[in-house]
Amino acid sequence: MKNRTSILLAFILMCAVQLPAFSQPMTEAAIDNLVATALKTFDVPGIAVGIVKDRKVVLAKGYGVRSLKTGEPVNEHTLFGIASNSKAFTATALGMLVDEKKLRWDDKVVDYIPEFRLYDPYVTQDFTIRDLLTHRSGMGLGAGDLMIWPDGSDFTRADIIHNLRYLKQVSPFRTKYDYDNNLYIVAGEVVSKISGLSWEDFVRTRILEPLGMTETAPSWSRLCDTSNTIAPHGAVDGKVQVIPRTTGDLMNAAGGIYSSVYDLSKWVGMLLNKGVFGTDNKTLISKQVHKDLWTPQTLMGVSTAPPYNTHFAAYGLGFRLADVKGYLEVSHTGGLAGMVTQILMYPELNLGIIVLTNQQVGAAFTAVANQIKDGYLGVTGIEWIKLISDRVIKSGEQADKTVQQVWAEVAKQQAGDVGSRPKPELITGTYRDPWFGEITIEENLGKLWFRSKRSPGLAGELLYYQGQTYIAKWNDRSLDADAFVLFQTGYDGKASGIKMKPVSPLTDFSYDFQDLEFERVKE
């Protein structure tokens, strides 16, 4: 009798752990309606949703269209660029090398890449593999990302490793979270140095193939079949349309993987099962390495407000970690030009949620994922689509007001007296930044033009704003990243240098114009 009672009690406790009281997971029909509303509300052409519960795929489904040009439907096998969700694969690859005792998390980076240098010599010498993955280098948010964005630059991974030494630290080492992409590129090079394989080959042969992720590729260029792939979309002059795809291999270790909800369900299932996968219980990573990946390393800001009452948030190794309604949430998001993604996992609930989209605004995946997770967490009374839509509209209106005021001033100046502006010959010429290289300011047919030599996508007309400041209006309007260009003058009245910053407060942080320090190249 005692044994039967103990068994019954254990079963009750197990059920209590699996799902909180009053939880009511959404039905497939309800999710269908939710996503249909999100597609319309946020002007997103296509979305794919995957849900893994108790090691089973309970939903893998596509909605909307892959491309506004073709109208072909999204399904569970449609491939999306998962962007920074690739970082977890890079951290896992390093963890596999830790398991093989070829690497330790706290090994120094310079022991594997001797040419690695940061601005501060002490930081360089003490910088570890763990530091590469935890966004606590002291460099600013997105520092150096202009070597990666927009796509099409001629920077190499060797260039990035070399140029990190020029990026000044904005906070003391290991004291502050500032998201970084370039150090994950360095982490990918560490994988290559130790394994003898490129990062791409390591991920394919050691992670994707064992997990049976046959649809997935480490990069766009390595996709064998692109027939069921989304087109990227973004708002250009207020209208959502197909925009250029990011195709370069430079940032693969930070954000290059293409996958589907069908394949990512296998990845999520392995992680929820602490590194074990398949019907024969094979092991990809040890429980210790799995624990390492999901252990807080760098503190992040939190809000204790309802509905989730989050009391801590931190970055682990390739994953974000937080307590949500008393449960551990392991997550990450990702964004490339024209596509954004999110993966959420709740290990205590054996639950994973995947949302992939082909529009570059994250509101849709947040609203869909939050509504689905609320059902499992027992959270009620929140309409996430309306709540987030209201926030987007409000922030958009504020940003639009700022941008409209700038362009109104530009229009006023264009119609005004040109004699009040700096003479073209005082500002034209070649300017150089230590890590970004050279740009030219040139006059052609009465117009001034900004052109980057190493990143051709950053080219556009310079329009006078006020004082010594112009606006760079990029030719590629999908960038949504027009910038102030401030000319600093010398004693002779000629421009001696240039400082820049984004015009819109909503410009993506990877356009880190503020980190540039151009000086005129003597002719």
Domains of the chain, by residue range, sit at: 23-394, 417-520
pLDDT band (50, 70, 90) for residue 353: very high
- Asked if residue 357 lies in contact with residue 338, where contact means CB atoms within 8 angstroms, the answer is no
Q: How far is CA 523 from the centre of its chain?
A: 40
**Residue 295 tokens, joined:** 């252990």
- Asked if residue 94 lies in contact with residue 102, where contact means CB atoms within 8 angstroms, the answer is no
| Span 157-178, pLDDT tens digits | 999 999 999 999 999 999 999 9
What confidence score (pLDDT) does residue 424 get? 93
Cα separation of 118 and 120, whole Å? Answer: 6
What confidence score (pLDDT) does residue 23 get? 78
Average pLDDT of the residues in 325-347: 97
| Span 269-314, pLDDT tens digits | 999 999 999 999 999 999 999 999 999 999 998 877 789 999 999 9
What confidence score (pLDDT) does residue 19 get? 64
What confidence score (pLDDT) does residue 417 get? 75
**Residue 335 tokens, joined:** 């964004």
Residue 215 has pLDDT above 80, yes or no: yes
Q: Classify domain 417-520 by CATH number.
A: 2.40.128.50
HEC letters along 120-180: CHHHHHHCEHHHHCCCCCCECCCCCHHHCCCCCCCCCHHHHHHHHHHCCECCCCCCCCCCC
Angle between helices 87-99 and 182-195 (to 10 degrees): 30
CATH class of the domain whose range is 23-394: alpha beta
What confidence score (pLDDT) does residue 14 get? 41
Instruction: Report whether the peptide linkage leading into residue 150 is cis, meaning its omega lies within 30 degrees of zero.
Output: yes
**Residue 384 tokens, joined:** 């996430």
- Asked if residue 42 lies in contact with residue 361, where contact means CB atoms within 8 angstroms, the answer is yes
Cα separation of 469 and 410, whole Å? Answer: 10
Which DSSP helix (H) or strand (E) runs through 323?
strand 320-324
Instruction: Read off the pTM.
Output: 0.94
Cα separation of 30 and 36, whole Å? Answer: 10
Average pLDDT of the residues in 78-86: 98
What confidence score (pLDDT) does residue 16 get? 41
Residue 209 has pLDDT above 80, yes or no: yes
- Asked if residue 362 lies in contact with residue 389, where contact means CB atoms within 8 angstroms, the answer is no
Task: Round to the nearest angstrom and report the end-to-end CA distance of the chain.
Answer: 94
pLDDT band (50, 70, 90) for residue 405: very high
Q: How far is CA 187 from the centre of its chain?
A: 16
Residue 9 has pLDDT above 70, yes or no: no
Cα separation of 448 and 442, whole Å? Answer: 6
Residue 385 has pLDDT above 80, yes or no: yes
> Across the strands, what pairs with 119?
none
pLDDT band (50, 70, 90) for residue 21: low
Cα separation of 476 and 274, whole Å? Answer: 44
Average pLDDT of the residues in 187-195: 98
What confidence score (pLDDT) does residue 185 get? 98
Residue type, 392: V
Residue type, 429: G
Exposure of 487 by Cβ count < 10 A (0-12 exposed, 13-18 middle, 19+ buried)?
Answer: buried
